[in-house]
């Protein structure tokens, strides 16, 4: 992105419009030729395995990462310089990948919220009402004095969401917010997010590595190796990429996880469970494949 001092909004019906986006890291291409648009009030999903380019794309839309070619338009402003990114940052909330990565471990739940509110110049009156509401919705109101580092993974993600929403952004960008979170907390997180988006008519860009979350989105792009290989409504994408999600317990877990990752692209440990997405297979066949890999590991 080059230098510029003049920011000129342009007319657009989309909250976000990405066209022919390219991003490279030295000689490695991270994202190649990606295009999509997000409409107001829409939950748009980016689905793909690690290394698909999701994080690079989301950081560029947030205005915190430069890119090589193509264009990104947010709220009618072309994001082509630090000045243009700065002009719309107050209207965006960004939550990076990783449990509690945007939070401070030594600060309490309430101190984290207050810090982000101050950073975003939220007035005292606004902070009081918003904090009360968000803490109640996330059921963190009983844990306001607890240090962030002592929260469970699901609670860290809820607190991260509260801190992302405290200044009432018009667009939130959440990078794999449910990765590493237990299934109950995942459902809880989605219920809270959906309710907030519906109530405030916020637009959202959310990434995930799991096809079982596809139905959470209104529109989505399926990414692989830096490219969008399918785009559209969830039912259309699921029909193109069929498969089964298997949950199991295997010990020693670390060895089983490593072995499964050598065969399947989408594998994670969630507590004592291992979650494996087996593409293109019905449940019976998928279970047999996973069990076979576990039993034949060294």
The C-alpha atoms of residue 5 and residue 83 are separated, in whole angstroms, by 6
Give the mean model confidence (pLDDT) for residues 257-277: 81
Higher confidence at residue 147 or residue 51? 147
Q: How high does pLDDT run on average in the chain?
A: 87
Q: Are 200 and 208 in contact (CB under 8 A)?
A: no
pLDDT value of residue 2: 44
pLDDT in tens, 212-245: 788 889 999 999 889 998 899 988 887 777 677 7
Q: What is the pTM of this model?
A: 0.80
pLDDT in tens, 71-108: 999 999 999 999 999 999 999 999 988 877 789 999 99
Q: Which of 97, 86, 38, 34 is nearest to 64 (CA)?
A: 86
Q: Which of 44-58, 129-143, 256-270 has the lowest mean pLDDT?
A: 256-270
Residues whose CB is less than 8 angstroms from the CB of residue 107 and which lie 6 or more positions away in sequence, other chains included: 115, 147, 148
Residue 267 has pLDDT above 60, yes or no: yes
The C-alpha atoms of residue 205 and residue 298 are separated, in whole angstroms, by 41
Higher confidence at residue 51 or residue 272? 51
Q: Which of 57, 14, 63 is nearest to 221 (CA)?
A: 57
pLDDT value of residue 141: 93
Higher confidence at residue 217 or residue 197? 217
């Amino acid at each position: 992105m080059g230098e510029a001092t003049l920011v000129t909004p342009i007319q657009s019906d989309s909250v976000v419009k990405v066209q022919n986006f390219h991003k490279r890291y030295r000689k490695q291409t991270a994202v190649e030729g990606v295009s999509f648009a997000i409409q107001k009030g829409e939950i748009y999903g980016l689905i793909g395995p690690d290394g698909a380019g999701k994080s690079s794309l989301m950081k560029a839309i947030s205005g915190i990462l430069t890119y090589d070619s193509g264009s990104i338009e947010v709220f009618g402003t072309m994001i082509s310089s630090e000045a243009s990114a700065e002009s719309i940052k107050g209207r965006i909330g960004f939550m990076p990948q990783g449990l509690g990565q945007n939070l401070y471990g030594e600060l309490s739940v309430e101190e984290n919220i207050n810090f982000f509110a101050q950073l975003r110049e939220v007035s005292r009156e606004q902070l009081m009402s918003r904090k009360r509401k968000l803490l109640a919705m996330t059921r963190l109101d009983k844990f306001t004095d607890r240090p962030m580092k002592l929260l469970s993974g699901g609670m860290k993600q809820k607190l991260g969401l509260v801190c992302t929403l405290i200044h009432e952004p018009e667009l939130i960008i959440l990078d794999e917010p449910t990765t590493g979170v237990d299934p109950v907390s995942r459902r809880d997180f989605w219920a809270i997010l959906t309710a907030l988006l519906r109530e405030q008519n916020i637009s959202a860009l959310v990434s995930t590595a799991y096809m079982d979350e596809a139905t959470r989105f209104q529109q989505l792009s399926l990414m692989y190796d830096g490219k969008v290989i399918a785009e559209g409504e969830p039912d259309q994408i699921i029909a193109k990429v069929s498969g089964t999600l298997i949950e199991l317990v295997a010990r020693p877990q670390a060895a089983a996880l490593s072995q499964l990752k050598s065969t399947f692209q989408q594998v994670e440990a969630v507590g004592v469970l291992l979650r494996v997405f087996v593409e293109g297979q019905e449940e019976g066949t998928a279970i047999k494949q996973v069990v076979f890999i576990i039993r034949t590991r060294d």
